[in-house]
Chains A and B, each alone.
Chain A
């Protein structure tokens, strides 16, 4: 067993470490296949059928089919990979970032224009009691 990692105290953050690299491999490699235009077309035509070609767990399949962006991170997704599903949907990084942080698109965009999410109160889990502060 490895020791707990000090970065686990950062709230609302899913570090793509060895553990996630191990459980997320198939999910991320499915995402990687979407770098090819032909695969993007096949995925959009029949998402469930396309996913059959990859060894995803039931929960990983669900998060993809339901576009549960946070859920994907929890089952080993890496944002640079899962974003490729969003690109298929015509979404941007900012759209997905807003959805993951639970903010409406416009509110998230305004927060960024106002200088982004402050680190104040967002550095440690215990000091935020699991709550992420916006703005």
Chain B
């Protein structure tokens, strides 16, 4: 039987990827951010999961406004790196896990989550930056990845509560897969940031801290945060944090916080990192 062994939540700021790709991660600006990711890399290398499910959003890369899937699962065997407007990131191609991905697609749809299924798609910084910060620079990613892409660009994204329930359904599906796979789930995006308008640059440390605390203490309360509250309190792009709920919904009711890191600024963004391990039912 497959099982979910842990969850990671992390921001996916594109500038973090650029800093790594250009060898700037040791500079005074970036060093404090990357220092906080070192314990995560060590923890992940030791955990050595067989597969990662990465919940992220596409930023006008694989998908445009032509077709806007609310929830999408990538079932292909490889996902090339997208050109987002300044050339593709120089990172390895992302390999998929088609048997588990197809099982998930079937199970989720029959469990009333109407997933869009993608056989071919490119992936952008939303997926590759979380891999880079947790796996480092490498010739090949250490595990196959099942991308789950959530629309957060065209308003409205799915609600936090819906995302949490998707996580619960992912867990049910994983536990019915007939192979001994140890699966990790990434929830990505956030934390507070606003990239647009006169209010660009908004950061809300208090909101972010309460959100990080709530992931362990009372995740269901966090799922009741409305879209307007995310945008008002955490910036228009802070609404990406709904994707953390998918990860949290896939874990046990009780979890232990293994590591936390919070750093401002990563370009325009408050970068957050949280590692959670299962601790059983409430």
Contact = CB atoms under 8 A, between A and B. Distances in A.
Report, as a range, how many residues of chain A touch the other chain: 35 or more
A79 B85 contact: no
Contact of B199 (A10, A21, A36, A92): A10
Contact of A119 (B65, B83, B87, B202): B202
A31 to B, nearest CB: 7
A32 B66 CA distance: 10
Report, as a range, how many residues of chain B touch the other chain: 35 or more
Given A112-B265, A115-B264, A6 B202 contact: no
B197 A7 contact: no
B201 A10 contact: no
A32 B65 contact: yes
Contacts, number: 154
B231 interface: yes
Interface in B69-86: 82-86
B201 A84 contact: no
Nearest to B57: A80
Contacts of B132: none
Nearest to B199: A12
Contacts of A132: 198-199
A31 B268 contact: no
Q: Which of A13, A73, A92 has the most CB of B within 10 A?
A: A13
Given A17-B155, A80-B153, A29 B64 contact: yes
Given A15-B236, A21-B154, A111-B201, A35 B65 contact: no
A129 interface: no
A75 interface: no
A101 B65 contact: no
Chain A contact residues: helix, strand, loop or mixed: helix
Contacts of A118: 202-203
Given A73-B196, A88-B85, 11 more contacts: A10-B228, A16-B154, A29-B66, A36-B83, A37-B83, A78-B60, A81-B60, A98-B201, A112-B264, A115-B265, A123-B233
21 contacts: A5-B228, A7-B228, A7-B232, A10-B199, A10-B231, A15-B231, A15-B236, A28-B64, A36-B83, A78-B153, A84-B84, A92-B267, A93-B15, A94-B267, A101-B198, A111-B201, A112-B203, A112-B268, A116-B203, A116-B264, A132-B198
Interface of A: 5-7, 9-18, 21, 25, 28-29, 31-32, 34-37, 40, 70, 73, 78-81, 83-84, 87-88, 92-94, 97-98, 100-102, 108, 111-113, 115-119, 122-124, 132
